[in-house]
Amino acid sequence: MCTDDEITTSPLVECVPNVSEGKNKRNIEWMADTIQNTDGVTLLHVDSNADANRTVYTFAGNLQSVSNAAFALFEVVNKTVDMRTQKGAHVRNGGMDVCPLIPVGNVTTEECVVEAKALGRRIGEMGVPVYLYGAAATSRPRQELSWLRKGQYEALEAKLRHREWQPDFGPTEWTPQVARSGSVQIGVRPFLIALNVNLKTKDVNVAKNIARKIRSSGFGGQKGEFPWLKADGWWMAGYDCAQVTMNFTNHHETPVHIVYERIRELACQTGTDVDGAELIGLIPLSAILTAGLYYAAQSGRIDQLSEKELIALAIHQLGLQSRHSFEPTERIFEKRLDSSRK
């Protein structure tokens, strides 16, 4: 675990591995302990969902330590997750499905790319295919994680036979190890916000149709309403409702609250409504404050509220406590980082 001085003086990198395990609590805790016991990093948050069968780990530290923690996590995942039997609502290519390195402070994107390639090489030497995406991608199509996910794990065996799908590191053929592990996607990207909006309906088609309208890729050759937004609709049995699941890849250009209110409008047009939102992982303070200012302006109180009150207003209006408690010191990145120093 990193000390206060290490967090303050070292280049800061966030890492948010997505693991295809959301049901086995013992293994989920084993993975969390592995991260937490790595020198130079602080585990900030663990978010598991049994329906998605996915756990998102958020940790931060200096670049080399973060890379070491990611590799240690991979080793545990490689022992515990068998993709031949893994099922869940979330799309996935492998056990340690996605592992992005995110430069936060005093570190460049280029430095993170160099380390992403070094991490990819280490994992590839374990007999697992590795694809680089985002700023680390080795070709234009591979910049998009959605392109790498075509067909998911089930298509990997056939994809490995084609030149365009050869991994950046690791085996190029289907082996027993690859059948068990699937592939690992390692990237370098900006801060991403993952948010799921609950709908007051069990009709997954409503969620899917809303997602097609709002996401940047659109549907059927027609562009969607918002740039920098990935979205889909799915069923969450644990919540007994359909959700619009989203990734905001640039929350400055496509603010969370604007999209949330648009989903509300589209849901009402179909005779239903939103029922709050579920944050996956952490959210930057700027996104919460921007939302708070938006809702404060609507009520004519924009000059009357403190930062704490703006945060509380945003949490309330976005329904971030509709399913789980939402503690700012635990779920807002900067505040969680500050609390870890104390």
Whether the CB-CB separation of 153 and 83 falls below 8 Å is answered with yes
Catalytic member of 90, 252, 257, 324: 90
Among 187, 76, 191, 192, which Cα is nearest to 131's? 187
Instruction: Output phi, psi for 333, to 5 deg.
Output: -55, -55
User: What gap in Å lies between CA 194 and CA 247, rounded to an integer?
Assistant: 5
DSSP-assigned letters across all residues of 21-61: -SS-HHHHHHHHHHHHTSTTEEEEEEEEETTTTEEEEEEEE
Place of tokens 């085996």: 171
- Alpha helix ranges (H) inside 204-327: 204-214, 256-269, 285-298, 307-317
DSSP-assigned letters across all residues of 67-136: HHHHHHHHHHHHHH--TTT---SS--SBSEEEEEEEEEES--HHHHHHHHHHHHHHHHTTT--EEEEETT
Whether the CB-CB separation of 244 and 197 falls below 8 Å is answered with yes
Partners of 194 in beta bridges: 247, 280
CB atoms within 10 A of CB 193: 21
The yes-or-no answer on residue 252 being catalytic is no
Tell me if residue 19 falls in helix, strand or coil. Answer: strand
DSSP 62: -
CB atoms within 10 A of CB 31: 26
Enzyme catalytic residues:
90
